[in-house]
Structure 1
Amino acid sequence: MSLIAVIILLGIVQGFFVGFFLITKRSGNKRANAILGYMFFMLSVSMGYYFFYTSNLFLNYPHLQKTTFPTTLLFGPLFYFYTKTQTERDFKFSWTHLLHLTPFAIVLILNIPFYLKDAEYKLKYLANPEIMKSNLDLFISIFQVLQTSTYILITKKLIREHVKRLKNEASSIEKMNLNWLNICLNVIICMFLFIAAHLILIYFGVDLRSVYHVTLPVVITIFIFIFGYLGLRQPEIVLPVEEATVAKKYEKSTLTDEKGEEHLQLLLEVMDKEKPFLKNDLTLQKLADLLDISTHHLSQIINERLNQNFFDFVNGYRINEAKQRLVSHDFQNFTILAIAEECGFNSKSSFNTAFKKFTDQTPSEFRKNAESN
């Protein structure tokens, strides 16, 4: 067994292990974990093709050729539904969602004639890349790339909308923004561009299968290890109560101008005196409870009267507090990370991003400039 085959086999075992662990995991978002687990199963099954190819096992088991091809059409729907279950509190599966399996079923049916061929035909198929020029095989391969890429783009849109909602409800979103999933989706897009380039080259008579069948499975194996690690680390996303879109959110609001101004002054007074923003788990609901007003009215005040979302509103106070502490003699022995945590930030990276957004400089630059002056 070659080194490449061993690496691929490790990826397959890892995928099945992570998949089984996620499916049987009793804590967190069980539906999302189960979907992610099935995704790892499908990745491992698909990797089986590359293991058989690099180990020359198709010569002994020719009937296993193309048996994994339809499974690639499940990745897109699985990514999509994983994101839906993570980002939508009330999401429920229905029978209509089975329509997402239609491409998988179609490709499976289209491949049945090949599955019924004898071993001799399948061995010729394995040895002859020119067969890939057939209209059906080319159509299926292109369709797989386009279908998965479409689902990935839709999933990325779901994540953007999710982050936008979070910024109206939470002051710290690092553990809820699914940024790791967005990065993984970008990696998958690159892999599919590589696959598309391979298909184009085959169509024009350039056979680089020896490179393709080594490079892609090794990349996927590395991806399985990293994706598995990040997927296992993803905590359950406790979603706030969802509200309507910004355009329609306050159409039927009972908040009068007089009450709105009264609540605004109370909000600003509490933020200045009690400094609830120093708590890193501050949410719209917690702040509304502190002010004894509804989350709907509080959101309306921040959005309409201050022209901000909740995330930027709270972080603005945190940054102002951090600026004071960065130049204060009482905090001169504090590291930037310590000050960031004291001001309500969960990480140095989120602090740096927010600080740069509000001041156009990094915390280190701000402190250095203050010391020089």
Structure 2
Amino acid sequence: MDKLVLILPILIAGIFGLVLYKKSNWNLNQYKILGHYFLLYAILFSVMAVIGFFNEKDISNNFVNFSSLVFYIIIITIPPTFYLYVTTLSDLKKFKTKVLQHYYLPGALLVINCFSFFFLTIHTDETDYTIELVSNIMTYTNVISLLFIFPLQNVFYIFKTIQIYKNHTSEINKVFSYETDIDLKWMLHYIIGYIIFIACLYLTQVSSEEVIHTGSRLFLSVYLLYIGVKGVKQKKVIFYDTDKETQKENLEDNTPESESALKKKIAVALEENELFLDPKLTIHKLASKVNSNSKYVSNTINNEFNQNFASLINRYRVDKAKQLLTDDTYANYTIESISEEVGFNSKTAFNKAFKLLNEITPSEYKLKEKTNKSS
């Protein structure tokens, strides 16, 4: 049982790392970055297992020493990788040209540790002052990395990751009329789980209690399994429409008059053409239909309709749903079927939007209207 708990996070991280690498087609995208993240965990727990095994046997050799040095390198490589994964989940944050700068510190520590290890392996004269100097530099560098650089990295990258998540949640209502597969709510679990992992890591370093070590490995196993399943399914969220045909860049200035005219076009598209019935409607599609630019459409919705894109579309969908809920033609339709008819892609989203606008659920509204008709 103890051996299974020891190797479980290694197996989960290793398998998901390879699966994600394959899914990435070896391109620098969200799958490859998450693959890095998993393989770093696999290496980290592998070297910790090696160090723990040989320490129990009271054996010290070059392999153990090298594993210890790898531990310090991996530990300061995980935080930037944790952050970079979130930046790849949408096109809100540009990352491609800035990846390497996040790995300068791990790269520097890799050079120092590799040079020191091979130098100390080759040179065995204990009276040589150079050996003591190299050994001290290696030791102090690794201690500083673990006690100072690693905590500072985590504070910085966790803060930046939360910022990106908050920005993402605020922007989706401006572009999308739906949340399924794009709201990234599971990223909260990704962030919280990582914070708990950091706490567990420090606890296992200062405590020899078996229950702490076993509990930490079990938690990490569950965390990695959950993130792996979610990460394999998660596609990149595209906020910006790159289709030139739908982006009219050479429009006249966005004056109050043009906003007023654009408001009428938007109203026609939604009220007469019922564009809101499209469950995958985005502001780019709406902009294309009214022969405008998504930025202008967004500004017009904010200024003329006094709400964001998602709220406007949901209002039209809910109004349509209210008609269907009281229409005898749809008497045998379930609430979920009605939600699909008006453009919602989940019953949960429909209930949430309906209650927000009417202070009662669709079922309560249907029953209320039925009672009113009877009386």
* TM-score normalised by length of structure 2: 0.78
Q: Say whether the 8 Å CA contact 1:80–1:155 is kept in structure 2.
A: yes
- Structure 1 counterpart of 2:15, one-letter code: F
Post-superposition offset of 1:144: 2.3
Post-superposition offset of 1:29: 7.8
Residues 13-35 of structure 1, C-alpha deviations (whole Å, 9 max, x = no match): 22222212222225798522111
Decide whether aligned partners of structure 1 residues 253 and 92 sit closer, same or farther in structure 2, where only a CA change above 3 A counts.
farther
**Structure 2 residue 87 is the aligned partner of structure 1 residue 84:** yes
**Structure 1 counterpart of 2:223:** 223
Post-superposition offset of 1:279: 0.6
- Structure 2 counterpart of 1:47, one-letter code: F
Mapping of 1:111-130 within 5 angstroms? none
Q: Say whether the 8 Å CA contact 2:72–2:146 is kept in structure 1.
A: no
- Structure 1 counterpart of 2:356, one-letter code: K
**Structure 2 counterpart of 1:75:** 78
Decide whether aligned partners of structure 1 residues 356 and 153 sit closer, same or farther in structure 2, where only a CA change above 3 A counts.
farther
Post-superposition offset of 1:115: 6.2
- Root mean square deviation, CA, Å: 3.3
**Structure 2 counterpart of 1:275:** 274
Q: Say whether the 8 Å CA contact 2:91–2:238 is kept in structure 1.
A: no
Mapping of 1:84-233 within 5 angstroms? 84-88=87-91, 91-94=94-97, 97-105=99-107, 137=143, 140-141=146-147, 143-195=149-201, 202=206, 207-233=207-233
Q: Say whether the 8 Å CA contact 2:173–2:310 is kept in structure 1.
A: yes
Residues 228-277 of structure 1, C-alpha deviations (whole Å, 9 max, x = no match): 110011123233249xxxxxxxxx97123333222212221321122111
Q: Say whether the 8 Å CA contact 1:22–1:33 is kept in structure 2.
A: yes
Post-superposition offset of 1:46: 1.6
Post-superposition offset of 1:347: 1.8
Decide whether aligned partners of structure 1 residues 372 and 49 sit closer, same or farther in structure 2, where only a CA change above 3 A counts.
farther
Unpaired segments of 5 or more residues in structure 2?
122-139, 243-250
Decide whether aligned partners of structure 1 residues 17 and 332 sit closer, same or farther in structure 2, where only a CA change above 3 A counts.
same
Query: Per the alignment, in what secondary structure is the counterpart of residue 68 of structure 1?
Result: helix
Decide whether aligned partners of structure 1 residues 296 and 114 sit closer, same or farther in structure 2, where only a CA change above 3 A counts.
closer
- Structure 1 counterpart of 2:89, one-letter code: Q
Q: Say whether the 8 Å CA contact 2:5–2:214 is kept in structure 1.
A: no
Q: Say whether the 8 Å CA contact 1:5–1:55 is kept in structure 2.
A: no
Decide whether aligned partners of structure 1 residues 105 and 324 sit closer, same or farther in structure 2, where only a CA change above 3 A counts.
same
Residues 306-361 of structure 1, C-alpha deviations (whole Å, 9 max, x = no match): 12111111112112222332343332322222222222122223223323332334
How many residue pairs end up in the alignment? 340
Decide whether aligned partners of structure 1 residues 138 and 321 sit closer, same or farther in structure 2, where only a CA change above 3 A counts.
same
Q: Say whether the 8 Å CA contact 1:84–1:91 is kept in structure 2.
A: yes
Post-superposition offset of 1:36: 1.0
Post-superposition offset of 1:218: 1.0
**Structure 2 counterpart of 1:45:** 43
**Structure 2 counterpart of 1:240:** 240
- Structure 1 counterpart of 2:351, one-letter code: N
**Structure 2 counterpart of 1:25:** 23
Query: Per the alignment, in what secondary structure is the counterpart of residue 86 of structure 1?
Result: coil
- Structure 2 counterpart of 1:219, one-letter code: F
Post-superposition offset of 1:37: 0.8
Separation in 2, partners of 1:357, 1:319: 10
Mapping of 1:4-15 within 5 angstroms? 4-15=2-13
Query: Per the alignment, in what secondary structure is the counterpart of residue 89 of structure 2?
Result: helix
Q: Say whether the 8 Å CA contact 1:171–1:315 is kept in structure 2.
A: yes
- Structure 2 counterpart of 1:265, one-letter code: K
Decide whether aligned partners of structure 1 residues 14 and 198 sit closer, same or farther in structure 2, where only a CA change above 3 A counts.
closer
Q: Say whether the 8 Å CA contact 2:76–2:150 is kept in structure 1.
A: yes
Decide whether aligned partners of structure 1 residues 191 and 10 sit closer, same or farther in structure 2, where only a CA change above 3 A counts.
closer
**Structure 1 counterpart of 2:265:** 266
Post-superposition offset of 1:368: 4.2
Separation in 2, partners of 1:27, 1:360: 48
Separation in 2, partners of 1:278, 1:27: 36
Q: Say whether the 8 Å CA contact 2:277–2:342 is kept in structure 1.
A: yes
Unpaired segments of 5 or more residues in structure 1?
119-133, 243-251
Separation in 2, partners of 1:265, 1:231: 42
Post-superposition offset of 1:153: 2.3
**Structure 1 counterpart of 2:352:** 353
Separation in 1, partners of 2:299, 2:219: 47
**Structure 1 counterpart of 2:34:** 36
Post-superposition offset of 1:171: 1.1
Query: Which structure would you say has the larger Rg?
Result: 2
Separation in 1, partners of 2:189, 2:101: 27
Q: Say whether the 8 Å CA contact 1:76–1:149 is kept in structure 2.
A: no
